[in-house]
Amino acid sequence: MTHWHQTSIRLHPHPRGFHLITSSVEQAMPQIASTAIGLLHVFIQHTSASLTINENADPDVRTDFETVFDRMVPEDQPLVHTIEGPDDMPAHIKASLLGSSVSVPIRDGRLQLGTWQGIYLCEHRDQATPRTIVITLMGATK
């Protein structure tokens, strides 16, 4: 039988950078464990933070992500949309580059992430606010 579940979680403000949130997502959706086959969709309701899936073992990856994104979208360029400060428009650009959602397949009650993969909250603001994530599960029950 196919089932749908949806919930929202509010993540506390994170410092600027890349933060693993896989366990928070899994805890918020315990129905994953009873799903034989399905799909989990994770969506962030913000325009200055994003989501991605990437390497979850070596913390140096997070540092390198931040370094590269800051070089790609520097804050010292002449931008028009600066109403919330110099990191505002660069944060919107970075969020657009990475995207607002990720989808992960589910099999036998487990997310089918690769051995070294995790779901990241990518916080692009210096003074972040709490972030709301909408998690939707669709699948067939075990």
Q: What is the pLDDT of residues 32-78, one digit of tens each?
A: 999 999 999 999 999 999 999 999 999 999 999 999 999 999 999 99
So what's the pLDDT on residue 142? 82
Q: Which residues contact 108 (CB under 8 A, 6 or more apart)?
A: 36, 142
So what's the pLDDT on residue 89? 96
Counting every residue written for the chain, the total comes to 142
So what's the pLDDT on residue 38? 98
CATH topology of domain 2-141: Jelly Rolls (2.60.120)
Domain coordinates in residue numbering, the chain: 2-141
Q: What is the pLDDT of residues 89-136, one digit of tens each?
A: 999 999 999 999 999 999 999 999 999 999 999 999 999 999 999 999
Return d(Cα 69, Cα 29) in angstroms, integer: 31
So what's the pLDDT on residue 1? 84
Checking DSSP bridges between strand 35-44 and strand 131-141, what pairing results, if any?
A: antiparallel
So what's the pLDDT on residue 53? 98
Q: What is the pLDDT of residues 76-85, one digit of tens each?
A: 999 999 889 9
For every residue of 6-53, DSSP letters joined together read EEEEEEPP--SEEEE-HHHHHHH-GGGGGEEEEEEEEEE--SSEEEEE
Question: By the 8 A CB rule, do 128 and 13 touch?
Answer: yes
